[in-house]
Amino acid sequence: MKIELISIGTELLTGKQNSDSSFIGDALSRINLELSRETTIPDHKKQMTSLLEESLKRADIIITTGGLGPTFDDLTREIVSETLKKKLIFHDSILKKMRKHFQRRGLVMPEINRKQAYVIEGARIIPNNVGTAPGMIIETNEDKKKKTLILLPGPPGELQPMFLKSVLPYLKKYSKSYLKTISFWIAGLSESSVAEKVEPIIEKYREAEKIEFAILVHLSIVEVKLKIRGKNQKEMNEEISPIKKEIKKVLGNNLFSEKTKKLEEAIGNLLLRKRLRLGLAESCTGGLLGNLITDIPGSSCYFQGSIVAYSNEVKKKVLKVRKTLLRKYGAVSKEVALAMASGARKSTKADIGVSITGIAGPSGASREKPVGLVFIGLIYPGERLKIAKEYHFTGNRQNIKYRAVISALDLLRRNL
Amino acid sequence: MKIELISIGTELLTGKQNSDSSFIGDALSRINLELSRETTIPDHKKQMTSLLEESLKRADIIITTGGLGPTFDDLTREIVSETLKKKLIFHDSILKKMRKHFQRRGLVMPEINRKQAYVIEGARIIPNNVGTAPGMIIETNEDKKKKTLILLPGPPGELQPMFLKSVLPYLKKYSKSYLKTISFWIAGLSESSVAEKVEPIIEKYREAEKIEFAILVHLSIVEVKLKIRGKNQKEMNEEISPIKKEIKKVLGNNLFSEKTKKLEEAIGNLLLRKRLRLGLAESCTGGLLGNLITDIPGSSCYFQGSIVAYSNEVKKKVLKVRKTLLRKYGAVSKEVALAMASGARKSTKADIGVSITGIAGPSGASREKPVGLVFIGLIYPGERLKIAKEYHFTGNRQNIKYRAVISALDLLRRNL
């Protein structure tokens, strides 16, 4: 069962926020399916038509995202209709639903949205509860082979719930029960260090050819992924359990989860279990750490808040960092990191205080304090634990911010 | 000149942070070039080889990202070598540079990195100053046609500086001087509202067929993009100037920039020009607004800090929101938004205070206060200006956070 993804839109020319394949690939793996390819093309009719024709030859299931919007450059409906030689049918019920969608927000539906009420003949409609464009599932025959086309809108906020609620249950019938994927999520080790630890195990078990391995990096997080094929669940579990054991042994405390790639989620669970509340003081990261932590639903149970002390005035006024400390050691120093962590704990009334202060660049550096220098502080109540660690990160401003945040989470995790 | 991008990696199966096409497409547009296609495939040898063969038939220039790492599943070097029938040559100078890279960080180079010192015969080496894998530019002939392959590492922090410093200057010779792209960035209007305003202008000028239009959405930001072809710069400017004028007129104050898609950058420039300093109070957005603002280099000139008051305790203790206010109206209310904005201004010693309080969901909602309800407050010194606005956002937790942040920036912009 070959599944291809086609992302339509002028994203090729300009900032696309996220690759759709990331979400769709993840979702498909839950039912043991996988994408064989993702292609992104601009919304030019000729290019879209020839890609669709190519894909129809190669794949059994084609998922498209984008091009279902209301404007003149949204062409997916028309191109699929022409390529499959199926009519577009107007649905009054969709139009009514769209008018209601605008009414709820106190708006009148612009007439150009009317176009979105047209659906390919014979298609199953996927309702869109967030935006206006409905999705479609089309079953058809090309050269006597059964092909399925699934058309979805581009915006992730619409695509994602539609995929989970309607597409995944539909595709379940194609699920191969003999494929299983397992991930190990690692923080605090580089890709090559993880590879050195894991490769002897991989070499040993890869011979069987039932198991595939991959090592992936997500900036500061490394993932070791296994895919195993087998006749049934029991056989696969028997095969995988000694490998899992060996991998866990070599990774040790660097492994932070087998369930989530999000370090902030793993830490949330730890804080919740230990009934500890966290408060932050962020300087160079500007709020990124608080933002990541609050991306996790329910984080209000353990997250008190963050003092983003970008200016020294806020460090002094809110975090009570002493003027003499700032003058003597500078804002980017071990001493100030500790004072900030202590201030974070007190001002947010938390149990644990974590601080980040550093130079994200491109400017602000000196000879003694280069771009990428970051100090992370950690303080427990009654100074039971009091750590300040120095880091040197590479990359651009955003990379340095992200690496600092992941390192702060990892330092916290190792001391919880 | 057809340029295709191939992204290699198991990103198809799991979370890829950003689509490479977004950065590369943007960068190419600066020299008036564009991508005709991006394909992402897993790092399976067979699939990679057949895609490379396909692309060699279709495109003149092929850019690959990923698969240059040190581990067993990094196959780009080998596959390109086999497909083009060119040897891999070991470069001692690259090995030395890699060893130094590890030494600088106080580490010893793992031996598996050795693999990265191999380069395709005849290739021009693109130095990597951030990571270990060098890039390569290979000029070759396939079926008597000149083809160029550009191999780059996957991590954005390595790829991006290499692309800007070495690839873009190399590709400049293919730049078509008769292609020009112009963008208009809009906040505070939906995609369909923008389309309704702009479509009459588009219809009028599209007939000429020298001009292409696109309307793009990036969550809450809408972009109107024009591409114009002409014989020379002067002709293009003459053609474009009446269209620009008309578009700017219908967009009015909703247009926030013709230079940057980043609202936070446009606002930074405004604050800098007016010599005003900004302080924030964030509740449901958890630090995202501060994070976006501090992504802009030089933001320390106008950004004082943010009080992420996730718990009511921080709202009371740091922002001095009165207990009675919280009890009477609740944390998600106009009244508390105003008190938070005032507290933000005072505690960060800023000129302007901006606050966000709302329900990002999925839990925490009530009948009167549904998921997506957000209040944004804005206060100027001496209460010269004092606004609190109610919003209703749709989408998941992250979408609501992002929409709230963009709306706060837009409210600030319209009142600067």
pLDDT-derived band at B358, boundaries 50, 70, 90: very high
Residue to mutate among B192, B303, B392, B401, with most A CBs inside 10 A, is B192
- Closest CB to A40 among B9, B21, B311: B21
Cβ A313–B304 below 8 Å, yes or no?
yes
Q: What is the pLDDT of residues B44-99, one digit of tens each?
A: 889 899 999 999 999 999 999 989 988 878 899 999 999 999 999 999 999 999 99
| Contacts with B39 from chain A: Cβ below 8 Å | 37-40
DSSP structural state of residue B360? -
**What is the domain count for chain A?**
3
Q: Tell me what pLDDT residue A207 has.
A: 65
Q: Which of B23, B243, B266, B261 is nearest to B152 (CA)?
A: B23
| Contacts with A21 from chain B: Cβ below 8 Å | 11-12, 16, 40
Angstrom distance (rounded) from CA B135 to CA B124: 8
Do residues A207 and A139 both lie within one domain? no
Burial B287-307 (b: 16+ CB within 10 A, else e): bbbbbbbbbbeebbebbbbbb
| Contacts with A132 from chain B: Cβ below 8 Å | 192
Do residues A68 and A166 both lie within one domain? yes
Rounded percentage of chain B residues whose pLDDT exceeds 90: 63
Cβ B34–A12 below 8 Å, yes or no?
yes
Cis peptide before A362, with omega less than 30 degrees from 0? yes
Looking at CA atoms only, how far is residue B297 from chain A in angstroms? 7
Could you identify the residue written with the tokens 């967030």? A130
Judge whether residue A57 has pLDDT over 70: yes
Q: Tell me what pLDDT residue B269 has.
A: 97
Judge whether residue A382 has pLDDT over 70: yes
In chain A, the largest separation of any two C-alpha atoms, in whole Å, equals: 81
Q: 3-state SS of chain B: helix, strand, coil percent to 5?
A: 45, 25, 30
CATH number of A303's domain = 3.90.950.20
Q: Tell me what pLDDT residue B234 has.
A: 86
Cβ A13–B181 below 8 Å, yes or no?
yes
Q: Which two tokens stand for residue B68?
A: 């240059």
Q: Which of A151, A175, A146 is nearest to A162 (CA)?
A: A151
Judge whether residue B16 has pLDDT over 50: no
- Closest CB to B305 among A131, A300, A311: A311
- Of A257, A275, A304, at which residue does a domain stop? A257
CATH number of A74's domain = 3.40.980.10
Cβ B287–A295 below 8 Å, yes or no?
no
- Of A124, A158, A174, at which residue does a domain stop? A174
Looking at CA atoms only, how far is residue A189 from chain B in angstroms? 12
- Closest CB to A130 among B183, B363, B394: B394
Judge whether residue B11 has pLDDT over 90: no
Cβ B157–A219 below 8 Å, yes or no?
yes
Do residues B25 and B148 both lie within one domain? yes
- Closest CB to A12 among B25, B308, B397: B25
For the sheet with A255-257, list strands across it.
A211-218, A221-229, A179-187, A255-257
For the ranges A20-34, A48-62, A187-201, B212-226, the maximum mean pLDDT occurs at A48-62
More confident residue, B285 or A36: B285
* DSSP track, B262-325: -HHHHHHHHHHHHT--EEEEESTTTTHHHHHHTTSTTGGGTEEEEEE--SHHHHHHTT---HHH
Angstrom distance (rounded) from CA A94 to CA A123: 14
Cβ B314–A291 below 8 Å, yes or no?
no
Please name the residue of chain B whose CA is at the shortest distance from the CA of residue A364: B298
- B101's enclosing H/E stretch is helix B92-104
Angstrom distance (rounded) from CA B217 to CA A151: 18
Do residues A114 and A252 both lie within one domain? no
- In total, the C-beta contacts within 8 angstroms joining chain A to chain B are 357
Q: Which two tokens stand for residue B243?
A: 């269209």
CATH number of B242's domain = 3.30.70.2860
Cβ A288–B291 below 8 Å, yes or no?
yes
- Closest CB to B308 among A9, A192, A308: A308
Q: Tell me what pLDDT residue B318 has.
A: 98
* ipTM exceeding the 0.90 mark: no
- The two beta strands, A135-142 and A145-152, are antiparallel
Poorest-pLDDT segment among A168-182, B20-34, B145-159, B293-307: B20-34
| Contacts with B183 from chain A: Cβ below 8 Å | 14
Q: Which of B160, B136, B67, B117 is nearest to A191 (CA)?
A: B67
CB-CB contact of A304 with A351 (8 Å):
no
Q: What is the pLDDT of residues A306-343, one digit of tens each?
A: 999 999 999 999 999 999 999 999 999 999 999 999 99
Looking at CA atoms only, how far is residue A68 from chain B in angstroms? 12
Q: Which of A80, A217, A410 is nearest to B9 (CA)?
A: A217
- Closest CB to A305 among B161, B311, B348: B311
DSSP structural state of residue A165? I
Q: Tell me what pLDDT residue A70 has.
A: 87
Cis peptide before A156, with omega less than 30 degrees from 0? no
Please name the residue of chain A whose CA is at the shortest distance from the CA of residue B288: A291
Q: Tell me what pLDDT residue A149 has.
A: 98
Q: Tell me what pLDDT residue B61 has.
A: 97
Do residues A25 and A165 both lie within one domain? yes
Judge whether residue B158 has pLDDT over 90: no
Judge whether residue A11 has pLDDT over 70: no
pLDDT-derived band at B21, boundaries 50, 70, 90: low
Q: What is the pLDDT of residues A203-237, one digit of tens each?
A: 888 766 678 888 888 778 999 988 887 778 888 88
Poorest-pLDDT segment among A62-76, A280-294, A322-336: A62-76
Do residues A170 and A184 both lie within one domain? no
Q: What is the pLDDT of residues A384-411, one digit of tens each?
A: 889 999 999 888 899 899 999 999 999 9
CB-CB contact of A197 with A250 (8 Å):
yes
Do residues B92 and B232 both lie within one domain? no
- Of B174, B206, B223, at which residue does a domain stop? B174
Do residues B316 and B365 both lie within one domain? yes
Judge whether residue B207 has pLDDT over 70: no
Could you identify the residue written with the tokens 């709820």? A104
Q: Which residues fall within 8 angstroms of residue B393, CB to CB, at 6 or more apart?
A: B358, B372, B374, B399, B400, B403, B404, B407
Judge whether residue B206 has pLDDT over 80: no
Do residues B302 and B365 both lie within one domain? yes
pLDDT-derived band at A14, boundaries 50, 70, 90: very low
Q: Tell me what pLDDT residue B13 has.
A: 44
Q: Tell me what pLDDT residue B14 has.
A: 43
Cβ A392–B105 below 8 Å, yes or no?
yes
Q: Please give the mean pLDDT across all residues of chain B.
A: 90
Cβ B47–A40 below 8 Å, yes or no?
no
Report the pLDDT averaged over residues B122-140. Answer: 93
Do residues A293 and A268 both lie within one domain? yes
Angstrom distance (rounded) from CA A170 to CA A312: 56
As a residue count, chain B comes to: 416
Q: Which contacts (CB < 8 Å, 24+ apart) does range A96-102 have? A: A97/A127, A98/A132, A101/A131, A101/A132
State the residue range of the domain holding A241: 179-257
Cβ A303–B310 below 8 Å, yes or no?
yes
As a residue count, chain A comes to: 416
Q: Please give the mean pLDDT across all residues of chain A.
A: 90
Half-sphere exposure of A114 (CA within 13 A, CB side): 4
Judge whether residue B190 has pLDDT over 90: no
Do residues A354 and A341 both lie within one domain? yes
pTM of the model: 0.83
Poorest-pLDDT segment among A320-334, B28-42, B299-313, B350-364: B28-42
Do residues B232 and B196 both lie within one domain? yes
Report the pLDDT averaged over residues B310-338. Answer: 97
